[in-house]
Amino acid sequence: MQYSLKKDTMSNFYVCLLLAGLCILASCHHVPGHQGGHDGHEHPADDQPPAESHQESSHLPCFKIAPNNAEFAFKFYHQIASKAPDKNIFFSPVTISTGIMLVTLGPKSGPTLDQMFSAIGFNQSMISIKEIDDGFHHLLQFLNRSEAEMELSVGNSLFSRIPVPQETVDEARDLLQADIVHTDFQNGKEAVKQINSYIEKKTHGKLVDVLKDLDPETAMVLVSYTFLKGYWEKPFSLENTQKKDFFINNEMTVQVDMMRRDGYYYTYHDEELACEVVRVPYRGNASALFILPEKGKLNQVEQAVGREALLKWEAGAKEKRVDLSVPRVLLKTSIDAKEILQELGITQVFTDQADLRTFTNQSNFKLSKVVHKAYLNIQENGTEAADTNVVELVPASLPPVIIFDRPFLFMIVEHFTRTILFLGRVVNPNDH
């Protein structure tokens, strides 16, 4: 069956946006080149970006969009948290932002695109379209650099059964490093198989069968993904992992594999928000921030967490010895991102009033589906090399004890670009 794409047609043709976030934290049994400190001692964490990032590179394009991306990340999180107070949450803000940027490609004008830019945090009276484009272009270039000490990739692909305007093709490749793939959506099963195969490959087999089916009038599917595989700078030892209670709430307790490590970490006790923050660095230029609310204070912390709190924690953190316990975590989450984006103000693009002519050269397109799938795996990385070569010399006195044995928040931050790669809440580490 053939579908007409003439402007006078009464049919609507659908653009589907799939978002995949994958984070594997220290889950491998071998860390290439990881030999610990050269002298066998533990050293203070040094995960700061290169010296040039604070002075010589302060003008870089990605820095201009960093505050906007952070604001959007927390805004999206707050919306999910309010709808699912007792559920695990895990998503990649940068995946969602770059996915939306895909839809804005081409000459940028009109109420539909204005609404999308506004919802993801960009006021065009304060930042120009060129600055936004340049910012995302530089951000993706940096995050995908091959010399990084962790495996990190952020990418996009456009699957289309109709000709894509050359300007859109050029922008997709140049600004967002996107692949353009011709796809026969008339053969629905084969199209689903092709797209799922792409996602499975890009997420190293962790996200499979993301797309179940396609509307027969689908003309384009846009896929955005983020893959992170990081190695703890100072791994937990498998020998120290024990079964412990994790208190989901006052009525429910589960047994978890609790990792434990006595070492030096940057921490911050936030008396105002009633939480403890611990920064656990990866090899490379990123860290995980684990945020443990005081008992009964989870909602209070969630409502207050945001860019200002993040800046306060980063500025006020002090390095000290800590007896840290964190559970192993394995999460698989699925979010109806369409519903969340609509609640954040992106509405017109999902209706018959959508104007995506700058993207498709057609007047009868609307966005039909936005799905975000994510996977998280946190383990010890108890490698022989790390366990053998990292010798910890610490004072005999007992350090402060921080045990993540109740629901907590966490985020993965790339320091140089000041980007929140992942953001989440763990209510039950075993619920996957």
Q: Rounded distance, CA 342 to CA 115, Å?
A: 10
Looking at residue 148, what is its pLDDT?
63
Q: Quick check: 319 and 264 in contact, CB under 8 A?
A: yes
Rounded Cα distance, 231 and 27, in Å: 8
Q: What token pair was written down for 409?
A: 């928040």
Query: CA 197, 412, 177, 108 torsion: positive or negative?
Result: positive
Q: Which domains does the chain have, with CATH numbers?
A: 13-28+50-230+331-377 (3.30.497.10), 238-327+395-426 (2.30.39.10)
Query: DSSP states of 54-96 as a string?
Result: TTTTTT-HHHHHHHHHHHHHHHHHHHHHHH-TTS-EEE-HHHH
In tens digits, the chain (432 residues) has pLDDT values of 333 333 333 345 566 666 665 555 543 333 333 333 333 334 443 333 333 344 444 588 999 999 999 999 999 999 999 988 889 999 999 989 988 888 887 656 678 888 888 988 898 888 888 899 999 999 999 988 876 677 888 888 888 887 777 888 888 888 888 888 888 888 888 988 998 898 888 888 888 888 888 877 788 888 888 888 888 999 998 899 999 999 999 899 999 999 999 999 999 999 999 999 999 998 888 899 999 999 999 999 999 999 999 999 999 999 999 999 999 998 888 888 889 999 999 898 888 888 877 667 777 778 888 888 888 888 887 222 222 223 334 445 578 999 999 999 999 999 889 899 999 999 999 886
Structure tokens at 363: 């007047």
Instruction: Kindly state the tokens that stand for 124.
Output: 């065009």
Radius of gyration of the chain, Cα coordinates, nearest whole angstrom = 22
| Joined tokens for residue 383 | 């490698």
Rounded Cα distance between 94 and 422, Å, is 8
Instruction: Output the pTM of the full model.
Output: 0.84
Q: How far apart are CA 209 and CA 189, in angstroms?
A: 12
Count, in order, helices (H) and strands (E) of the chain.
11, 15
Q: For residue 414, what is the DSSP state?
A: E
Is residue 417 within 8 Å of 62, Cβ to Cβ?
yes
What is the sign of the dihedral through the CA atoms of 15, 206, 247 and 423? negative
Question: Residue 315: phi, psi to the nearest 5?
Answer: -75, -35
